[in-house]
Chain A
Amino acid sequence: MESNAEQILELKSIYYAYHNMEGETRALIDISFAMKEGEFVAIVGPSGCGKSTLLSIISGLLQPEKGLIKINGKYLRESTTNIGYMLQHDQLFEWRTIYHNVILGLEIQHMLTTKTKAKAHELLDTYGLKQFENARPSELSGGMRQRAALVRTLVLEPDILLLDEPFSALDYQTRLRVGDDIGQIIKKEHKTAILVTHDLSEAISLADRVIILTPRPATIQQTLPLIFDLEKDTPLNRRNAPEFKNYFNLIWKEINGNE
C-alpha cells in the first residue's frame, strides 16, 4: 500500500510493549490504519487493552518498538503537523485560574500574542466558561472542567485531535450534551479526530468509522464504517436513526463474542 497524499495519518504495523523489572507487558500488536483529513474515527475496546498507549504513540510521547507512523506523508519525527492530545483526566492545575490553564500550551510554545489571547477568550466564551475565566478548577463542575481542558487543546489549533475518553468523568446527561457539543464543533471545524471511548453509543453517534480493538495485547479486531442516511447528520439525529441500534448490536457482538 503506497502512502496516499490525502491521508493525513498512517500507521503501519505498530508494536509496543511496556518493560519493567517484573517483565514485559505487550500492549499493541500489529496495528495498522489510515485516516483521511477531516475524518472522525472512534476506537473502542475493553479496559486496559492499550487504547491510551496507542494515542500516546500517535502523539509521539512513546516510541513504537516496531512499525512506522506517517503524518501528511512525513515521518512523525520530521512532521510539523500540530497534534492536540486531550488526556483521560483534565489535569487542570489548581494553582492557575481557568484562563491561565487554557493558555498553558501557548505559554510553553511561546505563542502568547494578543491574537492568541483573544482566541483563548473567544473559545472560553463559546464553551460557556466566560464567567469562570478567573475561577480555580475546583470551583468548576466536571463538565466545565472537561470543556476547559478541550479549550486548552483547541487554542493551539491542532490539525489532528486525539481524545482519550474525554467525557468519562461526566454524569450521563452532561456526557450526552458535552459529547454532542464537542462532536459537532469538531465536525464543523473539519478537524481530523480520534476518539477513544468505552461508550459504544458515544462512538456510534460521533464517528465516521469505528475501530474495535481486542483485549490486551490489542490488535485491530474489526473496522466498521458508519453510514447514516440522514439529512442533517448530528449526534442527536443519529441516536434516533434506525441504523443506530443495528450498529450498536453489531459492535456489541464483536466485543463480547470472543470472550
Chain B
Amino acid sequence: MNELSVEQKKFLHIQKRHRRVVGVSRVLILLSFLFVWEFTANTGIIDSFIFSCPSKIALCFWELTTDRTIFVHIGVTLYETIISFFLVIGISILAAIALWFSRKLSEILDPYMVVLNSLPKSALAPLLIVWLGANQTTIIVAGMSVAIFGSILSLYTSFSSVDPEKIKLIYTLQGTRLHAMTKVVLPSSLPAIINIMKVNIGLCLVGVIIGEFLAARNGLGYLIIYSSQVFRCAGILISLLSFIFLF
C-alpha cells in the first residue's frame, strides 16, 4: 500500500461517517416505528385487535415456531413456487424458441398471447380448482398461469431483437438456423433471460398464494386465510413477514 494523501484520508473519513449515519438511521426508523405501534396499541389509540401489535406478533411467531407449523407452511409455499418457477422458465424458453423458428407460427399466435397475457390471472384460480380439483397441482398451475404468457412474450421479443447482421455472420460461416439459435440468439439473450427469471420468481409466488387462498390445507396463503377467518391478524402479518424473508 502506498501512503494515502491527507485529502484522500479526509475523503475516506467523510465517506465512512456518511455510511454510518445511513445505517444507524435505517435501524432507528424501524425501531421507532415498532415502538410507536406498540405504544399506541397498548394505550388504546389504535385497536390492537384489528391492527395487532409487535408484542402479539412476536408471541404468535413464538407459538408457530415452537410447534414448527410456520416452517411447514413456508416449506410448502417455497416448494410450490420453485416447481412452478422452473416449469415456467422451461416451457417459456421452449415456446419462445419454437416461435422464433417459425415466423408464421409467431404471427398466428401473437393476438392469442396478448389476450392470454392480459387476462386477470387471479380470476383463473377458481376455474382451475373446478377443472383440476383442490390439490397441489392446481396451486402449481395457478402459480404458472400468472407468469407464463408474459414470460413467453418477453423472451420472444428479446429473441427477435437480435442484430440480424450477427445472424448473417453465422450464415456466412455456413451455419444453419439452429446454429443461429445456439450461437447467437441464446447467448445474446442471456441477460434478458436472467431478468425474466427475476421477475418470474415473484410472479409465481403471487400465483401460488392466490392458489393457496382457495385450495390448500397448508402454505402461507392458507395461513393468511385461516388467520383472517379466526381474526388473528398477527398470523397474517407473520405470513407477510415470511415473504419478505423468503427473498
Instruction: Point out residues on A near B: beta carbons under 8 Å.
Output: 59, 61, 84-85, 87, 89, 91, 93, 95-96, 104-105, 107-109, 152, 156
B174: chain A residues within 8 A (beta carbon): 105, 108-109
Give the Cβ gap from B206 to chain A, nearest Cβ, in Å.
32
User: Is B166 a contact partner of A59 (Cβ separation < 8 A)?
Assistant: no
User: Is A104 a contact partner of B183 (Cβ separation < 8 A)?
Assistant: yes
Give the 9 A-B residue pairs with the shortest CB-CB distance, closest first: A105-B173, A85-B172, A108-B175, A91-B169, A95-B187, A108-B179, A108-B173, A91-B166, A61-B171
Interface contacts beyond A93-B187, A95-B190, A152-B173: sample of 8 additional A-B pairs, CB < 8 Å, sorted by A: A59-B172, A91-B163, A91-B166, A93-B166, A105-B173, A107-B183, A108-B174, A108-B183
Instruction: Point out residues on B near A: beta carbons under 8 Å.
Output: 163, 165-166, 168-175, 179, 183-184, 187-188, 190
B166: chain A residues within 8 A (beta carbon): 91, 93
Centre residue among B171, B174, B183, B190 by max chain A CB count within 10 A? B174
Give the Cβ gap from A94 to chain B, nearest Cβ, in Å.
8
Distance A105 CA – B171 CA, assembled complex (angstroms): 10
Q: Which residue of A lies closest to B169 (CB)?
A: A91
B171: chain A residues within 8 A (beta carbon): 61
Query: Could you name 22 residue pairs across A and B whose Cβ atoms are closer than 8 Å?
Result: A59-B172, A61-B171, A61-B172, A84-B172, A85-B172, A87-B168, A87-B169, A89-B165, A91-B165, A93-B166, A93-B184, A95-B190, A96-B187, A104-B183, A105-B173, A107-B183, A108-B170, A108-B175, A108-B183, A109-B173, A109-B174, A152-B173
Distance A96 CA – B186 CA, assembled complex (angstroms): 13
Distance A156 CA – B173 CA, assembled complex (angstroms): 9
Distance A160 CA – B156 CA, assembled complex (angstroms): 37
Distance A102 CA – B184 CA, assembled complex (angstroms): 14
Q: Which residue of B lies closest to A56 (CB)?
A: B168
Give the Cβ gap from A195 to chain B, nearest Cβ, in Å.
16
B187: chain A residues within 8 A (beta carbon): 93, 95-96
Distance A206 CA – B81 CA, assembled complex (angstroms): 64
Distance A85 CA – B172 CA, assembled complex (angstroms): 6
Centre residue among B163, B173, B187, B188 by max chain A CB count within 10 A? B173
Distance A93 CA – B190 CA, assembled complex (angstroms): 13
Distance A146 CA – B174 CA, assembled complex (angstroms): 20
Distance A61 CA – B177 CA, assembled complex (angstroms): 13
Q: Which of B163, B168, B188, B190 contacts A61 (CB 8 A)?
A: B168
Distance A156 CA – B168 CA, assembled complex (angstroms): 17
Distance A216 CA – B5 CA, assembled complex (angstroms): 65
A91: chain B residues within 8 A (beta carbon): 163, 165-166, 169
A61: chain B residues within 8 A (beta carbon): 168, 171-172
Q: Which residue of A lies closest to B180 (CB)?
A: A108
